[in-house]
Structure 1
Amino acid sequence: MDEQRSRRRPDVTEVERVGGTEQRELFLVEHDPAWAGEFARHHARIAAALGQTAVRIEHIGSTSVPGLAAKPIIDVLVTVHDITAEEDYLQPLVDAGYPLRIREPGHRLVRTPERDVHVHVYEDDAQACVDYLLLRDRLRTDRADRELYETTKRGLVTRTWSSMDAYADAKTEVIEAIKARARETR
Structure 2
Amino acid sequence: MTVEELWQLFPIQLSEHDPQWSAWYEDESSSLVRILGGNVARIDHIGSTYVSGLVAKPIVDILLQVRPTADIADVRGVLEGDGWLLMAECPERGELDLNKGYTPEGFAAKVFHLHVRREGDWDELRFRDYLVGHSDAAAQYGELKRRLLVKYEHNRDAYTQAKTGFIRSCVDKARKT
Per-residue CA deviations over 1:19-40 (Å, capped at 9, x if unaligned) read: 7634131121100001000000
Q: What amino acid is the match of 2:117?
A: Y
Per-residue CA deviations over 1:114-173 (Å, capped at 9, x if unaligned) read: 361010001112x5x2x0000000111111110111111010001136632221111011
1:52-71 correspondence to structure 2 within 5 Å: 52-71=38-57
Normalised by the length of structure 1, the TM-score is 0.81
Provide closer, same or farther for how the CA distance between residues 124 and 113 of structure 1 changes in structure 2, counting only shifts above 3 A: same
Secondary structure (helix, strand or coil) at the match of 2:115 reads strand
Provide closer, same or farther for how the CA distance between residues 30 and 146 of structure 1 changes in structure 2, counting only shifts above 3 A: same
Normalised by the length of structure 2, the TM-score is 0.85
Q: What amino acid is the match of 1:123?
A: R
Moved more, 86-95 or 46-55: 86-95
As a proportion of its length, which structure holds more helix? 2
Provide closer, same or farther for how the CA distance between residues 83 and 30 of structure 1 changes in structure 2, counting only shifts above 3 A: farther
1:119 aligns with 2:114: yes
1:110 aligns with 2:98: yes
2: CA distance, partners of 1:68 / 1:83: 36
CA RMSD of aligned residues (A): 2.0
Corresponding position of 1:168: 160
Q: Say whether the 8 Å CA contact 1:78–1:120 is kept in structure 2.
A: yes
Corresponding position of 2:83: 97
- Which of 129, 142, 149 lines up with 2:134 in the alignment? 142
**1:180 Cα deviation after fit:** 1.7
Secondary structure (helix, strand or coil) at the match of 1:179 reads helix
Q: Say whether the 8 Å CA contact 1:83–1:122 is kept in structure 2.
A: no
Q: Say whether the 8 Å CA contact 1:31–1:68 is kept in structure 2.
A: yes
1:29 aligns with 2:15: yes
2: CA distance, partners of 1:164 / 1:28: 13
**1:91 Cα deviation after fit:** 0.9
Per-residue CA deviations over 1:9-61 (Å, capped at 9, x if unaligned) read: xxxxxxxxxx7634131121100001000000100111111001011110000
As a proportion of its length, which structure holds more strand? 2
What is the aligned residue count? 164
